[in-house]
Homo-oligomer: A and B are copies of this chain.
């Protein structure tokens, strides 16, 4: 029995109820049915309701943030986070090439362009070294004569660098403290893409709480789900209010008048979805514990396997292990593994195609991305859902 066959057997033992084992599927073993029926009975299933409020309170508490604003999905949360951070058309936003496309799409919605810096080989999230090196070589700091505020600009084109958006890849926190220091040094707002890292901590502090704004996702494939959903967190009351305003069509509150003071968005999470999310959030601790146990089993298994490395949580992390990941020795071995596992009803998948390889982002500014390329060629995500 080769390594891959042994792995397939292990996964089938770990998820015995399933014929086909998915990468990550939700489990509904708490108050999901109760809360969703309650939302229906209340007739408040849409953009207003007690579960949306409760969801925001729970997310603020979990993420150790003062304010949370519920959105219709993670992409909407990213878009709104960029808007409230002051990103404008023509600006540049620094993110990572190893990420899900939503981050870069959201940047495009505003008419801003992506700059991609490399990831760290351990965390697979933005490398503080790469970020700092790129900024030192390519940016200049200027003072706005009217406001007295400093900003960084791209040397070659004089475009403003209006946000840094690192991502906590597969739930592992990147070195967000160092990135926050660099963002501060270069006077660039930090938006933390914590879409994958609800329940993950860096140096004991919850991910999403290091930037001026953090973003979470509650898509069906996440650690906890609302069907579709997202959230923005911040400690800044003005930013939170602006997020709420922009996500509710920029309507100025009034008992009956319809007045909207700017371009707005239909980005509010419906109460029906928030009801599901509230029940799921109650189980976040149990789910993360369960997923960490699974990671430990995988880690043990791959210790004895020569040509495959399990990707452990990086230093200073307590990771939610959203998607467990392994690294094979090269692309051809990776492709064999992908085929054999998927052919045997064990879903696995490679990392995302690097953003710089997609037609709409291939002309973006980027550094050498050597770690990103290596991960994109060798990494595989393996089944990581909560086991019942």
Contacts and interface: CB of A to CB of B under 8 A. Distances in A.
Interface of A: 25-28, 32-33, 36-37, 40-41, 43-48, 72-76, 100-102, 105, 108-109, 111, 219-221, 225, 227-228, 249-251, 255-266, 268-273, 276, 338, 342, 347-350, 352-353, 358-360
A75 B266 contact: yes
A353 B32 CA distance: 40
A176 to B, nearest CB: 24
Given A109-B109, A256-B349, A263-B108, A40 B46 contact: no
A56 to B, nearest CB: 16
Nearest to A45: B227
For the complex of A and B, the 4 pairs showing the least CB-CB separation, nearest first, are: A46-B220, A227-B270, A75-B266, A227-B272
Given A46-B221, A256-B349, 11 more contacts: A28-B43, A47-B219, A73-B266, A74-B266, A105-B249, A111-B111, A227-B272, A257-B353, A258-B349, A260-B353, A260-B360
Given A40-B33, A47-B220, A258 B352 contact: yes
B276 A45 contact: yes
Copies of this subunit: 2
Contact of A101 (B249, B271, B348, B359): B249
Contacts of A43: 25-28
Contacts of A255: 342
Nearest to A220: B46
Contacts of A33: 37, 40
Nearest to A272: B227
Contacts of A347: 256
A172 to B, nearest CB: 19
A331 to B, nearest CB: 13
Given A37-B37, A72-B73, A359-B261, A276 B272 contact: yes
A100 B105 CA distance: 26
Contacts of A220: 44-48, 270
A225 B273 CA distance: 13
A36 B37 CA distance: 8
A25 B23 CA distance: 39
Interface core residue of A26, A259, A270 (most chain B CB under 10 Å): A270
A256 B101 contact: no
A360 to B, nearest CB: 5
